Structure 1
Amino acid sequence: MSENTFEAIPEVKLDNGRFKYVLIKVHDKADPNRSKLIVRGSASAAYHADIYEKEMCKIESISGLETECLGGGRIIHNPDCAEIKVFGYSQGYGQADHSKAVEILKRNFPDYKSITWSNEGY
């Protein structure tokens, strides 16, 4: 697996509105110390597993990569107000570390005025 392939995986893919999200760890089978965290959220997903399984199939089809779901929650993404709120948990995967998800979101949405998280709610 080339360095470019690994780095080409986007850190964030989000819809607009309120939806479920998962925090995924992608790592190199040949070098387990080489990994990155990615955030995926979808308004069309009924379950957190729907989001993870779709991404897992895409990423693991790339030779040499594996994924692990680190948990989930919910996101409210309002691009018109430049705001993202991360909260809640996944019944199937448990609660993601929302602080890590927010770090990733802040890198990818530097112009947003508010990106926050809370462990409250579902």
Structure 2
Amino acid sequence: MFVARSLTLLKLQPVAAFFLPLIAHCGMSSEAFVNLPEVDIDPDGRFKYILIRATDTKTKEKKMIVRGYKWAAFHADIFEDVEKKVHGTGVDVWCVGGGRILHTSQDKKLAVFGYSQGYGKADHTISVGLLKKVYPDYTITCSDEGY
């Protein structure tokens, strides 16, 4: 009986060797997804921003992220930059809308407003919630006014 069990275990070792790494990662988010900052915006100025839904392709876990930069002529420029950065990392991104941010670091103020002609208006309340996590000592406002 001991010999039969040993032979069965020996037969299962190649199968276990194949599946154990897969099982070990099951339910764990990719490193790229975990390390994806919720907020990345310029330290000062008025600029376009987008709200993005990021999805871990393995676990299907989702999170919202904010990106905003002065260098972007269009909201799509920001999205293309994010797409390039996450390409091949196991993270999918989808732009859910955009707007503008006025960042006045000297006064510790952020104003979120406006919309994107290409992506539509972001849900500014979600964006403000994410910004408050990164800038807890700032006064952060949002408005649907302006472009």
Matched, 1:74 2:74: no
Count of residues paired in the alignment = 119
Across the aligned residues of Structure 1 and Structure 2, the Cα RMSD in angstroms comes to: 1.3
C-alpha distance in 2 between matches for 1:12 and 1:61: 21
Equivalent residue, structure 2, for 1:117: 142
Contact 1:60–1:67 (CA under 8 A) maintained in structure 2: no
Please report how far the alpha carbon of residue 46 of structure 1 lies from its aligned counterpart in structure 2 after TM superposition. Answer: 0.3
Out of 34, 58, 76, which is 1:7 matched to? 34
C-alpha distance in 2 between matches for 1:31 and 1:58: 20
Q: Which has the higher strand share?
A: 1
Residue by residue over 1:12-64, the C-alpha shift from the partner in whole angstroms, topping out at 9 and shown as x without a partner, is 111110000000010012333x11111000101000000011011112331x2
Share of identical aligned residues, percent?
A: 50
Equivalent residue, structure 2, for 1:104: 130
Runs of 4+ more than 6 Å apart:
none
Matched, 1:26 2:51: no
Higher RCO structure (Cα 8 Å, ≥6 apart): 1
Out of 71, 83, 88, which is 2:114 matched to? 88
Equivalent residue, structure 1, for 2:80: 53
Q: Which has the higher helix share?
A: 2
In structure 2, list runs of 5 or more residues that go unmatched. Answer: 1-27
The higher radius of gyration belongs to 2
